[in-house]
Amino acid sequence: MEENLRKIPLIVIAGPTGVGKSALSIELAKHFSGEVINGDSMQIYEALDIGTGKITEAEMQGIPHHLLSFKKSWESYDASQFKADATEAIQAIYERGNLPIVVGGTGLYIEGLLFDLGFGQAGSHDPAVRRRLQERAAALGNEVLWQELKAMDAGAAAKIPVQNTRRLIRALEVIEVTGKLFSEQEEHKNQVQVFDSCLLVLDRPRDVLYDRINRRVELMIDEGLEEEAEALYQRSPEQNEQSTKGIGYKEWWPYFQGQATLAEVIAAIQQNSRRYAKRQLTWFRNRFQEKHWLTIESEAKALEEAIDIVSRHLNIEEMSN
């Protein structure tokens, strides 16, 4: 860890899909002269705007945004690449005299950025091994790989859902290449911060959050999600690209193949989004020792509380109205 990074103030706004991270980040950026860095693993892709819930140019209100729409849909990207790219952006923003604000719900990206987890350690990657594992996953299914991981490293299997193909493959790759347990390499009990970071985790009452997610999916359909997903399907009908595995896109494959109705697709996206939100909340609750948990019941009150938290972190005394 570079010692000079430790002095850089960094605000992180995390939380589940549909909770309202982007809206709050804009208000904080306006208040504290901030610039926003995307921390969502699907919003890195260009042309995947509707299904990822990507912020629009109008919604940005002139606030600079980074690491949005800079990868093609067929390109792969991982936590170690994000750590390098985000760190570079954070340093540049700080040198401009502005406040870097990372916004996203991809827990592994956020955790890898904030703490020195050793992503991409020398000798832990082998493209040939990864390709072979990807081929086995495609041929045999995730359950087979998950059972293999469980037999080798029960601790890692307990933390990686069977549906998460990328994490399964990564864990098996690390074990095979290094000869060490993936869970041992992921132990972060003593979290050493890389930056002078302040983590805000947003939440809402469960029924409110789920209703927002359901309505958000319906709005995505109205905005043209089917056409966006179909363009992805035409590029990768075998669904072998990283971007095709994202919620909001993967559910369309049976529909385009005549095996599902539109109503079934919508219901699947809503259900998968709700389940993902629950997993995100569990991740942020369990994986981060220091965090400010902000349950939003009033937008104005949440913003006021967030400004107070950030001000105290930055040692800024807010003027009372």
18 annotated as a binding-site residue: yes
Distance in angstroms (rounded) separating the CA atoms of residues 276 and 234: 26
Distance in angstroms (rounded) separating the CA atoms of residues 217 and 18: 10
Angle between helices 262-287 and 107-114 (to 10 degrees): 30
106 annotated as a binding-site residue: no
Torsion of CA 10, 198, 166, 171, to 10 degrees: 110
15 annotated as a binding-site residue: yes
Identify which of 246, 85, 242 has the alpha carbon closest to the alpha carbon of residue 170: 242
183 annotated as a binding-site residue: no
Identify which of 3, 61, 7, 70 has the alpha carbon closest to the alpha carbon of residue 35: 61
Q: Which residues pair with 102 in a beta bridge?
A: 12, 37
174 annotated as a binding-site residue: no
Q: In the chain, which ranges are E strands?
A: 9-14, 34-38, 65-66, 99-103, 196-203, 292-295
How far from 279 is each of 18, 25, 44, 82, 228, CA to CA, in Å? 13, 22, 21, 21, 26
Distance in angstroms (rounded) separating the CA atoms of residues 89 and 300: 29
Torsion of CA 172, 177, 179, 180, to 10 degrees: -60
21 annotated as a binding-site residue: yes
CB neighbour list of residue 240: distance below 8 Å, 6 or more residues apart: 134, 138
- The DSSP string of 228-268 is HHHHHHHH-TT--SGGGGSTTTGGGHHHHTTSS-HHHHHHH
16 annotated as a binding-site residue: yes
Binding residues for ATP: 15-22
Binding residues, as ranges, are: 15-22
Binding site per annotation, positions for substrate: 17-22
